[in-house]
Structure 1
Amino acid sequence: MTDRFQSEPAATAEPGPEPQAPDPQRWKALALLCVTGFMVILDSQIVILALPSIERELQVTAGEGQWVLSAYMLTFGSLLLFGGRLADLRGRRPMFIVGTVLFLVSSLLCGLAWSAGALIGARVVQGISAAIMAPSALAILTNMFPDGAERNKALAYWSGASGLGATAALLIGGPITASLGWEWIFYLNVPVAVGLLVFAPVLLPKGRERDQVGSYDPAGALTITLGLLLLTGAIVWAPSEGWTSGPVVGMLLGSVVLIGLFIVVESRSAAPLMPLRMFRSRLFVGGNLAMVFFAMTALGMSITLSAYAQRVLGYTPMQFGLGLLVMTLMTLVGAYAGQAGVTKFGFRPVAAVGIVLMGIGAFLLSQVPADGTYFGHLFPGLLLFGLGLGGGPVAAISAALSSVDAKNVGVASGAGNAAFQIGGALGAAVVSGVVVSQGGDSTVPTVMTEGFQAGFTADLVIALIGLGVALVLLRPLTRHTRDTTSAASRSEDLSVTENRRRIAR
């Protein structure tokens, strides 16, 4: 495995055009893109606190109501790679606008839903829209800001906005549902989507309309989409069905087969959906693996903390959301500090410090008693956890995207988003399983607390594994590996070109 997969021009190549000056509107555009990241993550979680009202008004069971949450997660997580590739091929701004239109329409349909089936169908479309918007927005951000301090700062704002979206969902979901009705958690998206559609053509760069290769690699798109769908579905259902249940095992095996087929298809494709040479880059692989563990740690902690605070301490959803404000604020502080750290010290130190802070936060939370208090037992852990959650992912995503050619930044952004979504679902499933196995589903406060302590401890173990990934794979670049990768990239480019010529004949 090497450091980069970017190809370098041959020595005899014609001089390329002069690098373009940075877009003067890039900071205004960044605000627009950060709103997108905020809303996409907000909509993945805001439904949680509204589910009881939805189930009651639409007269559905808890199992059917869970599909309102799962439908979004499944389509969002499984289509991110394809959505990112569409942005590369059809143009990032046009696909961003298409995704935003779908987001607006699906949000309206969710609010107007007259039955559980209609709501679930609209949530499927909403997940599709998110799978187009998120990688398109991140690809635009990456191309607008030159590599280095400016891009690191922009990625920090993106990461902070996404983290804020997750916390805001828990803060505002309950009050909106209680005061206006569950429909308004979806109607809330409409004016935001209209604003995005108004300002996107003005602030976002038009760029090239599409990539040089006009192929969508349908076989690759089908296999990876279905593979990720089965993988995400297995992870989502594992806590309720059990990891060894027939449906979960079947989905896991199916995902392995389909992802294996995807690798075979991509290795033979003249215009692959995701060039396999991307996985030769240590930074690309390491950044995305680190993102998986950041997401596992974050979602595992959140789901355990929510259950402990509400079931043991008796917090209302509003009180719980307010209690998370310290973590939200520290996430923003950590993101800003993280981008400065990446510029000065590199990816590995910042990612390592981030995951260590999250691990220490999880350790402090693992000491909570049945009669715990906010400032005595929750506040210190949340403060440190938030700092790590803000800085660490900035380093991970910066590392992954630093090794990517401009023409592949859309699919690379989709891979990063998919890593976070799958990691989050996996962390929630694994930690939930630990909590239940240790008594977290009891009704006795002391027994429940033991289960939640075990969940926080499992989160610490996940953080330690993530630390190992960061230390091993996010090492600084070396001249030797850059030279080796460049030669391999040029060789593969020639091979791909020859394949296209054969197909043309």
Structure 2
Amino acid sequence: MSDIIVPAPAARSHSHSHSHSRRRWIGLLVVLTAQMMIILDSSVVNVALPAIQHDLHFSQADLTWVVNAYMISYGSFLLVAGRLGDLVGRKKIFLAGIAVFSVASVACGLAEDQAVLVAARFTQGLGGALASATVLAFIVTDFPQPLERARAMSIYLLVTVGGGSLGLLLGGVLTQTLGWHWIFVINIPIGALALLAAVGLISEHPGSGLRQGADLPGAVLVTAAALVGINAIVRASEHGWLSGYTLGLGAVSVVLLGAFGVRESRTPNPLVPPRILRLRSLIGSSAVRAVVAAGMYGVFFFGSLYLEQVLGYDAIRTGLAFLPQTLAVAALSFGITSRLVSSFGPRRVLVAGLATMIVGLLLFAWSGDGEHVHYFPGLFFAFVLVGLGAGAVFMPLLTMAVANVVPADAGLASGIVNVSMQISAAVGLAVLGTLSSNRTASLLAEGRTPLDALAGGCRLGLLVSAGCVAFGLLLAVTVLRAPRTMREAAGIPTQPTSEPALPEQPISAP
């Protein structure tokens, strides 16, 4: 009788483990492909705005709605989208988001009317919120080991931070060679492939069920508060910060937010459980991320404005000018930042990165003071320093944000991290844009040439952006506490979840 060879249990286990690990990484690449599409779309539009204005006959005031419609819906639905992922399953919410985003991209690409384009952009924002709010949650739940999670976060940050400047280059190439419609059409095949791949490759983690947090009134209140508040912010430069329109909408938003707070304190199944808001690491890192993001958006906004309108760069040259920033982020994302965090601790790396960003922004403001400026060396090294700073900043912030988040709340935490950045972008652009415009107007009144006045306005915007990052540095050294162990940095509870967590104790950064 021939022997029957049975594989050793250890071998079978190793093979299964290897297959599961490979599936997780392929799933991450699929998720991040969709994330890249969404990130690119938020920046690719900027360089196409003049062409869109010309073809669809937008007024200067109405043109802002091509950007604002997306920003308002995206920022408003992130929190609810993240919580829905926890409750009904993150894979379902992610697939729904990609589907909505792709269909809306079809409408954008075919738009021949102002109203259709603005409505389609609003719908794109909704789809983007549904998909993006679950991406960080996938990383938290699928990569519990510190080294694996660090690698996954590095790739995630390369996509989210570097994608913005790549979007400027891609938008310039598509707009100049094929036309502005193609910046939306290109999303359709990418979205379709991501959708098909995600169905088979992304694992579903069953949600806790709608009964565990199906707070419909709370969802309506917080979404309405965000919609009204972000609308007031993005239109403040048009109506004035102290106008009845801005103050009135701001008051309505505050009232709605207050009603949401009352609702959450009284309902047995809150949309935002109080335990989430007590996580100092999550809320503190989100606050730092918010002000730093405002500074980063200042680089994109004023950098593009200065290069195109003052130095006369075309859309492609503008995108190429930002390339050193993207390459610097990429260089740090391939393991360098994670090794620095392991060696020196997240807070020290964060502080060093913030200081580097401040130097880069100040160098940009100093090098760009005038209309007769050479790109190299001043502007080149400014972009490099900002990129190095960003590559060193966002990884530690994410590490601290998810350090104490349990998997059941990963979607909501992801929504909080993303919404802090989105709202800060809206506030930052509105405030920075107003200050810059006022400075330009005052320089014109003094008799400066239009280009010199515009350069002066951009310079002030960059200086205020540096101030935002400096405020983030102050918050980092006074508010944030680094995870005490690499186990905490991975987001793994240091004690059984059935026992109450001990209050966080102040510690010094490792």
Q: TM (normalized to structure 2)?
A: 0.87
Q: Distance in 1 between matches of 2:187 and 2:108?
A: 10
- SS of 1:128 mapped into structure 2: helix
Residue aligning to 2:508: none
Q: Distance in 2 between matches of 1:68 and 1:448?
A: 23
Task: Kindly state the Cα deviation for residue 24 of structure 1 after the two structures are TM-superposed.
Answer: 3.4
Unaligned runs of 5+ in 1: 1-19, 492-505
Distance change in 2, residues 1:58/1:212 (3 Å): closer
Tell me how far apart the structure 2 counterparts of residues 457 and 475 of structure 1 sit (CA, whole Å).
28
The correspondence of residues 345-364 of structure 1 with structure 2, limited to 5 A, is 345-364=344-363
1:439 CA drift (Å): 2.0
The answer to whether the 8 A contact 1:23-1:144 is kept is: no
Render the CA deviation track for 1:68-123: whole Å, top value 9, x for unaligned.
21111100000000111111111011111111111111111111223111111111
Q: Is 1:473 the equivalent of 2:472?
A: no
Asked if 1 retains the 8 angstrom alpha-carbon contact of 2:86 and 2:412, the reply is: yes
Q: For residue 457 of structure 1, what is the aligned residue in structure 2?
A: 463
1:421 matched residue in structure 2: 422
When structure 1 is superposed on structure 2, of 382-391 and 175-184 the one drifting more is: 175-184
Partner of 2:101: 103
- In the other structure, the counterpart of 1:436 is 437
TM-score after normalising by structure 1:
0.88
Residue deviations 1:202-236, cap 9 Å, x none? 22112225447454201211111111112222221
Assess if the C-alpha contact under 8 Å between 2:175 and 2:183 holds in 1.
yes
Residues 29-48 of structure 1, C-alpha deviation per residue, up to 9 Å, x if partnerless?
Answer: 22112212211111112222
Q: Secondary structure, in 3 states, of the residue corresponding to 2:318?
A: helix
Structure 1 equivalent of residue 11 of structure 2: none
- Residue in 2 aligned with 1:447? 453
Contact kept in structure 2, 1:104 and 1:190, CA below 8 Å: yes
**Mapping for residues 101-500 of structure 1, pairs under 5 Å:** 101-211=99-209, 213-336=211-334, 337-368=336-367, 369-370=369-370, 371-439=372-440, 442=444, 443-477=449-483
Quickly say closer, same or farther: Cα 1:487–1:238, change in 2 above 3 A.
farther
C-alpha deviation, 1:360, in angstroms: 0.7
Q: Is the 8 A contact 1:435 1:454 kept in 2?
A: yes
Measured at CA, do residues 102 and 430 of structure 1 come closer, stay the same or move farther in structure 2, by a change above 3 Å? same
- Once the two structures are superposed, residues 310-350 of structure 1 have per-residue CA deviations (whole angstroms, 9 ceiling, x without a partner) of 22211112111101000010111233432222333332112
Worse-superposed segment, 87-96 or 348-357? 348-357
In 1, Cα distance between equivalents of 2:126 and 2:462: 33
Q: Which runs of 5 or more residues in structure 2 are unaligned?
A: 1-15, 486-493, 504-510
Q: Give the structure 2 partner of residue 14 of structure 1.
A: none
Aligned pair count reads: 470
Q: For residues 49-83 of structure 1, what are the alpha-carbon distances to aligned partners after superposition, in whole Å with 9 as ceiling and x for unaligned?
A: 22222232223323223212111110000000011
What is the CA distance between 1:200 and its match in structure 2? Answer: 0.6
Give me the whole-angstrom Cα distance separating, in 1, the residues matched to 2:184 and 2:452.
38
- CA deviations over 1:342-381 (Å, ceiling 9, x no partner): 3333321122122111111011112123121101320111
- Spell out the pairing of 1:69-88 with structure 2 (5 A cutoff): 69-88=67-86
User: Which aligned pairs between 1:29-68 and structure 2 lie closer than 5 A?
Assistant: 29-68=27-66
Whether the 8 Å CA contact 1:224–1:258 is kept in 2: the answer is: yes
Return the structure number with greater relative CO, CA threshold 8 A, min gap 6. Answer: 1
What's the offset of the Cα at 1:242? 2.0
Aligned CA RMSD, in angstroms, stands at 2.4
Residue 350 and residue 37 in structure 1: after superposition, are their counterparts in 2 closer, same or farther (change >3 A)? farther
Shift of 1:478: 6.0
1:240 is displaced (CA, Å) by 2.7
Shift of 1:490: 9.7
Moved more, 88-97 or 41-50: 41-50
| Residue identity opposite 1:120 in structure 2 | V
**Residues 294 and 393 of structure 1 are in contact (CA less than 8 Å); yes or no, is this contact kept in structure 2?**
no
Deviations 1:121-173 (A, max 9, x none): 11111111001000122211221111412112211111111123211221121
Alpha-carbon displacement from aligned partner over 1:371-406 (angstroms, at most 9, x marks no partner): 211013201111010011122111112211122111
> What CA distance in whole angstroms lies between the structure 1 residues aligned with 2:192 and 2:223?
29
Say which is worse superposed, 206-215 or 316-325, in terms of deviation.
206-215
Partner of 2:7: none
1: distance between equivalents of 2:500 and 2:475? 25
Do 2:208 and 2:408's aligned partners in 1 also have CA atoms closer than 8 Å? no
Matched residues, percent identical? 33
Closer, same or farther in 2 for the Cα pair 1:343/1:230, shift >3 Å?
Answer: farther
